[in-house]
Structure 1
Amino acid sequence: MEMIALYLAGLSFFFTGMAGISDNLRQITGRRFRVLLSRATNHPVRAGLLGVAAGVVTQSTSVVAFVLSGMIASGLIPLRRALVVLACANIGTAALVFVAAVDLHLPILFLVGISGLIIAFNLFIKWKPAFGSLLSIGLVFFGLDTMKHAFSNLSSAPGMAGVGRFFDYWPDMAFFLGMLMRTLVHSSSASAAITITINHGGILGEFPSMMSMAGLGMGTAIATYFLSSNLRGIPRQIAMYQGVTNVAAGVILGLLLLIERLSGTRMLLGFADLLSPTNSGRMAIMYLMLNLLIAVVALAALPWAPAWLARRSPPTPEEDLSRPMYLLPEALLSPETAPDLVALEQMRVMRVLESYLQAVRGNGTRPLKALHHGAVTLGEEIAHFLETMVKQPMSTGLAHRLISLQRKEETLRALEENVFLFASTLEHHGSEELTGHMVEALDTILLTASDALTSKDEIDVDLLMNLTDDRGGIMERLRARYRLDNPEHASDVSALHYATTLFERNVWLLRQLALWLREDAALSEL
């Protein structure tokens, strides 16, 4: 019973630590962090080294994939370069397996104790996510150490000798042991580390131990298939790439080991013998070989991967919209053209507003919420780009243009939110006469605003000013006309009244936009 209790406690510490690493690292992957990563990956070699480092720190390709998905969606890194980072991150995850193969009991206790006390006494608040990551790493290692102690005498337990004899007689079946472990645990490095700790007492022989490491690649593909079934777009592309490269590497390594056993020639096994005298150490080396193979396969497939992944899992409408088309990182190097690029991105947001109204009419082809999420993300990218630009040295005229664009962006973001709420409220009331009139009126004003933003023509701006004149009295009369007569119609009347309020707010925001355009025209004449 004590062995089972120790194993369960160690397993709990291990998975709690793995979850903590993911949660804490996601807190420090803000935009500034992602921009730094983008700059660090502008060369293939640097991208590969960064991937290895990311794998060592996170011990999870899932965390690396999460960060890369956000960077691809934001246009900070192309898919091809992101796949290089992901491929090399597999190599870094082998660090955990080597820790599981050696005795680091005392350093692990110090790591858990010091990082835990720093968090408990609220020291270095600014670096709390970083110390949280260290504590989580310590818990992972402590869990492995606990499981290692639990299984130290496992080889002498009743029935274990029979398990060992089975794999001695059917050594190739150990491939499926690794595959099953990886499918259930959902982490290759965790599966390898746990397999090594279970085998600490020497249950598996040399060849079955190595074969179990090769099976992890196939297990990754199976787990990825089930876990990515509800993913779409870029996240699914990354998951598919990881799964395919893992299964290819696992099969190759398994075949090489099988050829060695049948031919009696020691190649990989002989190399592992040279590097480590212990079975645990040789298993760790074999896991490193698996990950090196994954990286080689992934990099070899890189010329064809982006096109194939795009066909298998096309980007979603939300991802297409959220990814800036013009505000690439290189745009920061040319401040004079930046305002024109920002204006083009803002026009993309204006076109989304017209799509919202199409959905109310019943002609929409994309879900409102997906479009809204994409527009919000694009708005955040535009705002961050402008914030970065205004911090750079520039001429007075350029500074005026950027500040003006910032004001317009604030108005556009508020307008986008309100038009989305307006469309969401009326989406199920498209047949109402009042709804139709409000939608057509707002659509007319939005089209005029788009023309004014594009042309900057005085006639278009004046027309927008006239169309956005105070309509409060009209809305009050409409609300009075549609009062509640029957309790059964309460939700419909409430929705229509709320829509009139949103209509007023949208008209007011569009008028603010017209005022900014008029002010810009006056400044340009000075």
Structure 2
Amino acid sequence: MTILAEILAGLGLLFVGLKLLSSHLQQATGRGVRRLLRGATRSPLTGLLSGSLAGAATQSSNAVAVICGNLVRGGVLSVRDAIPVVAGGNVGTAALVFVAAVDFRLVILYLLALVGFGIQLRLDRRPAWREWMGVGLGLALALLGLDFIKQGPRAIDPAVLASLFDGGLTPLLGFAAGLAAAALSQSSSTPTILVLALLQSAVMGLDDAFFVVLGANLGSGLATLVAAGGLKGTGRQLCYVHILVKGVGCTLVFAVWLAAGWMGADPARELAGLGGGQAALSLSLLFLALQLAGAVPVAFGRSLTEAIALRLSPPTLEDGASQPRYIHDRAVDAPATALDLSDKEIRRLVQLLPTLLPDLDVTEGAGASERLALWRGAAAIARTTEGFLTELIGRAPERESLDIALEQQGWLEMICLLQDTLHDFAEVVESYDVPPQLAFNLSESLRVIVLSLADAESADDYDVIAALTADRSELLNRIRRSLVGSSIGSGEDARRLLLATSLFERAMWLIRRTAVALRPAANGDKPEDQETSVERNDVHAH
């Protein structure tokens, strides 16, 4: 029981450590990793190398794939560009297996000491220091977990374990065990490290270990697809790239293993020879060979890889809707141009707002699923634009450009709130088989106002919208009181109508704030005069 507890504790520390390491390292070097991946499009080789560096830094091929997926959805990379990077991310994870093959107890002690003293000296109050201290703690915990895993099996009697399998693992059983372990841990390196510990304790031989690691490698690729869940389109394409890397690697390495046997050689002995008689090094080289054997053909044959991924997961409506039209990463080098582009992207988001509402007068309009995809796409563009502005601000532009960028961030925040409010309102209205008259009227009124906002160009247009969306709380409160006092439908119907009324009121307020923010200065108006002009129009409207 002590051995089992030690191994399980080691796995727990390894999982926690890798999670901390990956999350804090992405926060500390997030922009650097993204710049590295964005610059990896010159050739498959640079993409492969950049992905390997990113995979070694994050120790997660999934993290590299997620970053690439965001860059693809944001229009920064194409799927073709991302393929070598994702393939390289798998190669980078081999670093952990090589680390597990050496003795690092002294490193663990010093790392824990550094992190502990740093916290005691309150260095973690600085954001940059906090992230790097998190990286150190995560690395220390991961290494400590690896040490526990390595030490646990040393107390196992090899004869006892061998007797459980009638003298050893069959290739099929070993392959299935590795496949299952990788599917459960969502990782190929974790089962490989367990096998490495068994090798160092003489519990398992290289011939058995080969098939376990082979199964673990393929299992981690299949686990990626399972973890993707309902992901479709471009996002799922990169999952298939993962599977291709793992599948091709397993096929080629297994073919070499079989060929060596057919030629009269002992594959296990040849593998041991590559490691200089050190079983841990031999296994580390095997793991690296599996990653390289899959990554290199997939990266350099990216045209075929892209065709296969495209065939298995065609682009969706959301993929097309999530592509920015104006902004691109290279534009941040010229702040004035960058701000013009982000302004156009933000105004395009406003023009897309009507697509988030149903047109109840048209029976053959876009369905709820299409509107959901359009909402997700618009939200993705908003996130990309926010990241664009954040990076621009991080480059410390001149005061005038900085003020404009901060103002645009405020616009973007309001538009995101408006996107979500319109989406929630549409869901309430579409929850009815036949919307009651009040829900119909609210929906059509809101749609007209949103269309007016999307078409607005001049200061007068925005003034009219602001006047139309002025405070209507008294009217809406009367509607709520009448609903409470009426016996319209079921209690659920009344609840939904009350919710629709509240969302309508919130949407009107956000539309007004957006109109005031986006209103261009006219006739020599100063920016601070815009609100006053809107208020005057409100008075005339009343």
Query: What SS class does the counterpart of residue 48 from structure 1 fall into?
Result: helix
Identify which of 413, 418, 422 aligns with 1:415: 418
Q: Partner amino acid for 1:248?
A: V
Q: State the partner residue of 1:67.
A: 67
Percent sequence identity over aligned pairs: 28
Aligned-residue offset at 1:225: 4.4
**Is this contact kept in 2: 1:404–1:520, CA < 8 A?**
no
- Return closer, same or farther for 1:338/1:523 CA change in 2, 3 Å cut-off: farther
Q: State the partner residue of 1:378.
A: 381
- Return closer, same or farther for 1:408/1:278 CA change in 2, 3 Å cut-off: closer
Query: Distance between the aligned counterparts of 2:139 and 2:348, measured in 1?
Result: 43
**Is this contact kept in 2: 1:326–1:342, CA < 8 A?**
yes
- Per mean C-alpha deviation after superposition, the further-off stretch among 62-71 and 250-259 is 62-71
Query: What SS class does the counterpart of residue 358 from structure 2 fall into?
Result: helix
Q: State the partner residue of 2:154.
A: 152
Q: Deviations over 1:394-427 (max 9, x none)?
A: 897x899878756654543343343334334433
Q: State the partner residue of 2:141.
A: 139
- Return closer, same or farther for 1:189/1:496 CA change in 2, 3 Å cut-off: same
Q: State the partner residue of 1:110.
A: 110
**Is this contact kept in 1: 2:469–2:512, CA < 8 A?**
yes
Query: Distance between the aligned counterparts of 1:384 and 1:15, measured in 2?
Result: 29
- Give the count of matched residue pairs: 519
- Return closer, same or farther for 1:141/1:399 CA change in 2, 3 Å cut-off: closer
Query: What SS class does the counterpart of residue 330 from structure 1 fall into?
Result: helix
- Return closer, same or farther for 1:366/1:144 CA change in 2, 3 Å cut-off: same
Q: Deviations over 1:211-245 (max 9, x none)?
A: 44333333234433433344333442222211122
**Is this contact kept in 2: 1:38–1:76, CA < 8 A?**
no
Q: TM-score of the superposition, structure 1-length normalised?
A: 0.83
Aligned-residue offset at 1:192: 1.0
- Return closer, same or farther for 1:58/1:164 CA change in 2, 3 Å cut-off: farther
Query: What SS class does the counterpart of residue 160 from structure 2 fall into?
Result: coil
Q: State the partner residue of 1:240.
A: 240
Query: What SS class does the counterpart of residue 304 from structure 1 fall into?
Result: helix
- Return closer, same or farther for 1:314/1:345 CA change in 2, 3 Å cut-off: farther
- Return closer, same or farther for 1:295/1:200 CA change in 2, 3 Å cut-off: same
Query: Distance between the aligned counterparts of 1:208 and 1:37, measured in 2?
Result: 39
Q: State the partner residue of 1:165.
A: 167
Q: State the partner residue of 2:455.
A: 451
- Return closer, same or farther for 1:102/1:348 CA change in 2, 3 Å cut-off: same
- Return closer, same or farther for 1:237/1:457 CA change in 2, 3 Å cut-off: same
**Is this contact kept in 2: 1:359–1:423, CA < 8 A?**
no
Query: What SS class does the counterpart of residue 203 from structure 2 fall into?
Result: coil
Q: Partner amino acid for 2:445?
A: A
Q: State the partner residue of 2:441.
A: 437
Q: Deviations over 1:131-156 (max 9, x none)?
A: 22332222222222223222224354
Unaligned runs of 5+ in 1: none
Aligned-residue offset at 1:372: 3.9
Q: Deviations over 1:106-129 (max 9, x none)?
A: 323333443355457753332333
Query: Distance between the aligned counterparts of 1:107 and 1:403, measured in 2?
Result: 44
**Is this contact kept in 1: 2:484–2:494, CA < 8 A?**
yes
**Is this contact kept in 2: 1:90–1:294, CA < 8 A?**
no
Q: State the partner residue of 1:284.
A: 284
Aligned-residue offset at 1:188: 1.0
Aligned-residue offset at 1:267: 8.1
**Is this contact kept in 2: 1:215–1:254, CA < 8 A?**
no
- Per mean C-alpha deviation after superposition, the further-off stretch among 464-473 and 351-360 is 464-473
Query: Distance between the aligned counterparts of 1:438 and 1:449, measured in 2?
Result: 17
**Is this contact kept in 2: 1:218–1:246, CA < 8 A?**
yes
Q: State the partner residue of 1:264.
A: 264
Unaligned runs of 5+ in 2: 528-542
Query: What SS class does the counterpart of residue 303 from structure 1 fall into?
Result: helix
Q: TM-score of the superposition, structure 2-length normalised?
A: 0.81
Query: Distance between the aligned counterparts of 2:350 and 2:316, measured in 1?
Result: 19
Q: State the partner residue of 1:58.
A: 58
- Return closer, same or farther for 1:235/1:25 CA change in 2, 3 Å cut-off: farther
Query: Distance between the aligned counterparts of 2:53 and 2:134, measured in 1?
Result: 18
Aligned-residue offset at 1:282: 1.2
Q: Partner amino acid for 2:421?
A: N
Query: What SS class does the counterpart of residue 325 from structure 2 fall into?
Result: coil
Aligned-residue offset at 1:444: 1.9
Aligned-residue offset at 1:337: 5.1
Identify which of 365, 371, 376 aligns with 2:367: 365
**Is this contact kept in 1: 2:476–2:505, CA < 8 A?**
yes
**Is this contact kept in 1: 2:17–2:140, CA < 8 A?**
yes
